[in-house]
């Protein structure tokens, strides 16, 4: 396989580990834990894995050489930089426990476990993937591991391969399912442990004990480089407003982090929109206000960051989407009949069949977006919110508003737009030093949790703003992160998703600065991720983490 010069050099990088994981490990049990909410319900559902203590690893004296362990690993959900290093951390970890240990990778996500598709990961394979981005070593998938019959199929292959443990590398949903699996395997005394690892570029799997999900650091560094480049272009040409949508299915952590790194003129934070119960019109008005004021200073250019999940946080849009989903799934016209209607008739038919309030919102949308809302449906007939081009929706609405203002002689500037969506560009980037080190440490921690016989734990590495040497490795019972939430009309236990906290330090800092960033151009151009060079350039954690820890 031909590889780039960077990849060749990067392969030699030895990720930094916390001191406690470098030699033999002493396991220290902390306090017994409770779930973040709904204690009684969670305890009832997880009698075998609820209330376990927090675990911390310290430097120990005894040799850690033990019986070999066989481990299966699964990558679940969207790609995030550093996944290969989690796997190499597990691999080196289990080989340290005993060189006869084996690591199997299930192919294509949880489906690989259910369908018994796997490979044995050897040192030749692992060495080709150290410090690289992507999940291509074994692939990932979004199949949900949540049915008893799939758990049993998984157990069958685990028995065939003599597995002691499974490691599930995933986001909040995948780790919730890992916890249910751990509970089931413990209940039936299967002898198979289950350990989770916190992954997602979205940054929404975090709490007191899990300071960050891996991949967030690298992905936001890539997006910030691109945003910085665009800001420089905007500031050079001085003729466009760039509307940039940033990935992140629900929470706005990515947008906030990129704003802290690049200081754009406008950044929308979905959680703030929801808290203030803002309407689409109010958001447009806010953006227009900044554009008009900048134009008055002669600055007919700027950059606006828009989180991918925004639409669902605008209360009136949320209601509209839910009414549209119901109407289109259960309405009197079939999908085929509906698609055969003329565009104008289609939009009119929809407006007639939803509540008057939603009809008003629907009719205020640019027709291209309104059409998109009615045509793109998933297999359950639901509107595909992630396909909505929110950046264009806002750009077009701002344009319409500015035209009205121009006619009323309230605006005399120019408004030209460019649209971008950054998401896939960052998900498979070569991990930053932070993610390379963090992921390798998470993998190594997972192998230590396995060797100490633990199940139902998530691998945890904390104190992340300190040098890697001082990071604190250990395990957090997954049940500790759970609460009860409604899913498909049923209350179920799930890991609580971390949205942007409006009383948190990163958001508060952003709010204290955004006025200045809006009107006077104070762009920062972070440049590309640096893998080699001074530590203050190469090893920095996210601004979010720094502010949260300050």
Q: How far is the CB of 423 from ligand FBP (least distance, A)?
A: 6
- Considering only residues 324 to 383 of the shown chain, the ones binding ligand FBP according to CB under 6 A are none
Contact 192, 155 (CB under 8 A): yes
What is the C-alpha to C-alpha distance for residues 291 and 196, in angstroms, rounded to an integer? Answer: 46
Q: Which of 134, 154, 171, 477 binds ligand FBP (CB under 6 A)?
A: 171
Identify which of residues 86 and 247 has a Cβ nearer to ligand FBP in the complex: 247
- Considering only residues 295 to 314 of the shown chain, the ones binding ligand FBP according to CB under 6 A are 308
Q: Whose CA is closest to 302, among 241, 381, 220?
A: 241
Q: How far is the CB of 171 from ligand FBP (least distance, A)?
A: 4
Identify which of residues 89 and 248 has a Cβ nearer to ligand FBP in the complex: 248
What is the C-alpha to C-alpha distance for residues 146 and 351, in angstroms, rounded to an integer? Answer: 38
Q: How far is the CB of 178 from ligand FBP (least distance, A)?
A: 13
Identify which of residues 192 and 251 has a Cβ nearer to ligand FBP in the complex: 251
Binding string, 471-500, against ligand FBP, x = CB under 6 A?
Answer: ------------------------------
What is the C-alpha to C-alpha distance for residues 537 and 402, in angstroms, rounded to an integer? Answer: 42
How many residues bind ligand FBP (CB under 6 A)? The answer is: 13
Q: How far is the CB of 32 from ligand FBP (least distance, A)?
A: 30
Binding string, 245-264, against ligand FBP, x = CB under 6 A?
Answer: --xxx---------------
Using DSSP's 3-state secondary structure scheme, residue 113 falls into helix
Please state, in angstroms and as integers, the Cα–Cα distance from residue 466 to each residue in 210, 261, 438, 463, following that order.
Answer: 15, 20, 12, 6
Binding string, 391-430, against ligand FBP, x = CB under 6 A?
Answer: ------------------------------------x---
Q: How far is the CB of 137 from ligand FBP (least distance, A)?
A: 17
Per DSSP, the residues of 318-384 read HHHHHHHHHHHHHSSS-HHHHHHS-HHHHHHHHHHTS-HHHHHHHHHS-HHHHHHHHH-B-TTS-B-
Q: Which of 386, 400, 463, 540 binds ligand FBP (CB under 6 A)?
A: 386
Identify which of residues 308 and 316 has a Cβ nearer to ligand FBP in the complex: 308
Q: How far is the CB of 77 from ligand FBP (least distance, A)?
A: 3
Q: Does 154 sit near ligand FBP (CB under 6 A)?
A: no
Identify which of residues 80 and 402 has a Cβ nearer to ligand FBP in the complex: 80
Beta-ladder partners of 76: 141
Burial class (CB in 10 A: 0-12, 13-18, 19+), 332: exposed
Cα R_g (the chain), whole angstroms? 25
Q: Which range in 6-14, 200-208, 260-268, 276-284 contacts ligand FBP by CB under 6 A?
A: 200-208
Query: Is 202 a catalytic site residue?
Result: yes
Q: Does 506 sit near ligand FBP (CB under 6 A)?
A: no
H/E segment holding residue 256: helix 253-262
Cα-to-chain-centroid distance, residue 188: 33
Q: Whose CA is closest to 360, among 316, 322, 313, 298?
A: 316
What is the C-alpha to C-alpha distance for residues 276 and 273, in angstroms, rounded to an integer? Answer: 5
Binding string, 425-454, against ligand FBP, x = CB under 6 A?
Answer: --x---------------------------
Q: Does 202 sit near ligand FBP (CB under 6 A)?
A: yes
Using DSSP bridges, classify how beta strands 472-477 and 53-59 pair: parallel, antiparallel or unpaired. Answer: antiparallel
Please state, in angstroms and as integers, the Cα–Cα distance from residue 277 to each residue in 164, 316, 370, following that order.
Answer: 50, 9, 22
Q: Which of 201, 256, 388, 478 binds ligand FBP (CB under 6 A)?
A: 201
**Residue 161 per-residue DSSP state:** H
Catalytic one of 92, 150, 202, 204: 202
Q: How far is the CB of 80 from ligand FBP (least distance, A)?
A: 6
Identify which of residues 83 and 264 has a Cβ nearer to ligand FBP in the complex: 83
Q: Does 271 sit near ligand FBP (CB under 6 A)?
A: no
Q: Does 200 sit near ligand FBP (CB under 6 A)?
A: yes
- Considering only residues 209 to 238 of the shown chain, the ones binding ligand FBP according to CB under 6 A are none
- Considering only residues 51 to 80 of the shown chain, the ones binding ligand FBP according to CB under 6 A are 77-78, 80
Strands (E), 121-185: 165-170
Contact 473, 20 (CB under 8 A): yes
Identify which of residues 77 and 474 has a Cβ nearer to ligand FBP in the complex: 77
Using DSSP bridges, classify how beta strands 118-120 and 241-246 pair: parallel, antiparallel or unpaired. Answer: unpaired
What is the C-alpha to C-alpha distance for residues 206 and 5, in angstroms, rounded to an integer? Answer: 35
Q: Which stretches of the chain bind ligand FBP, using CB under 6 A?
A: 77-78, 80, 171, 200-202, 247-249, 308, 386, 427
Q: Give the active site residues.
A: 202
């Amino acid at each position: 396989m031909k590889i780039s010069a960077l990849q060749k050099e990067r392969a030699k990088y030895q990720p930094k580990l916390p001191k406690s994981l470098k030699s033999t490990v002493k396991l220290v049990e902390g306090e017994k834990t409770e779930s973040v909410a709904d204690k009684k319900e969670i305890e009832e559902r997880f009698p075998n894995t609820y209330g376990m203590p927090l675990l911390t690893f310290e430097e120990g004296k005894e040799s850690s050489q033990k019986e070999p362990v066989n481990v299966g690993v699964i990558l679940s959900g969207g790609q995030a930089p550093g996944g290969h290093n989690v796997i190499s951390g597990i691999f080196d970890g289990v080989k340290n426990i005993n060189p006869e240990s084996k690591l199997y990778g299930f192919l294509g996500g949880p489906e690989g476990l259910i369908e018994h598709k796997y490979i044995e990961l050897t040192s030749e394979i692992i060495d080709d993937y150290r410090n690289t981005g992507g999940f291509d070593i074994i692939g990932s998938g979004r199949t949900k591991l949540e049915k008893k019959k799939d758990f049993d199929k998984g157990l069958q292959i685990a028995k065939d391969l003599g597995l002691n443990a499974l490691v599930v590398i995933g986001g909040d949903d995948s780790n919730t399912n890992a916890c249910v699996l751990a509970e089931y395997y413990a209940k039936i005394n299967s002898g198979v442990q289950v350990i989770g690892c916190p992954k997602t570029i979205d940054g929404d799997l975090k709490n007191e004990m899990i300071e960050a999900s891996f991949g967030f650091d690298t992905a936001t560094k890539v997006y910030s480089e691109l945003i910085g480049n665009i800001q420089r272009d905007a500031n050079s040409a001085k003729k466009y407003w760039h509307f940039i949508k940033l990935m992140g299915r629900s929470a706005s952590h990515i947008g906030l982090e990129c704003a802290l790194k690049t200081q754009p003129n406008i950044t929308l934070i979905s959680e703030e929109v929801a808290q203030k119960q803002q309407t689409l019109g109010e958001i447009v008005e806010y953006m227009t206000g900044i554009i008009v004021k900048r134009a008055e200073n002669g600055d007919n250019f700027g950059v606006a960051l828009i989180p991918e999940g925004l639409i669902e946080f605008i209360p009136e849009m949320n209601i509209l989407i839910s009414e549209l989903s119901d109407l289109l799934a259960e309405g009197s016209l079939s999908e085929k009949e509906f698609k055969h209607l003329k565009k104008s008739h289609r939009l009119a038919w929809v407006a007639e069949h939803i509540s008057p309030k939603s009809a008003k919102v629907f009719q205020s949308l640019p027709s291209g977006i309104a059409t998109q809302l009615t045509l793109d449906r998933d297999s359950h007939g639901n509107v595909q919110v992630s396909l909505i081009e929110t950046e264009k929706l806002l750009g077009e609405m701002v344009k319409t508003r500015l035209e009205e203002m121009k006619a009323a002689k309230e605006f005399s500037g120019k408004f030209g737009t460019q649209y971008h969506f950054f998401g896939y560009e960052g998900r498979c980037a070569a991990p930053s030093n932070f993610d390379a080190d963090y992921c390798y440490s998470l993998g190594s921690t997972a192998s230590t949790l396995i060797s100490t016989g633990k199940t139902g734990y998530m691998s945890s590495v904390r104190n992340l703003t300190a040098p890697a040497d001082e990071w604190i490795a250990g395990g957090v019972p997954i049940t500790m992160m759970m609460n009860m939430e409604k899913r498909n009309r049923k209350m179920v236990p799930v890991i609580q998703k971390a949205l942007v906290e409006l009383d948190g330090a990163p958001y508060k800092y952003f709010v204290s600065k955004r006025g200045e960033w809006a009107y006077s151009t104070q762009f920062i151009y972070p440049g590309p991720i640096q893998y080699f060079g001074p530590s203050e350039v190469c090893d920095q954690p996210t601004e979010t983490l720094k502010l949260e820890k300050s």
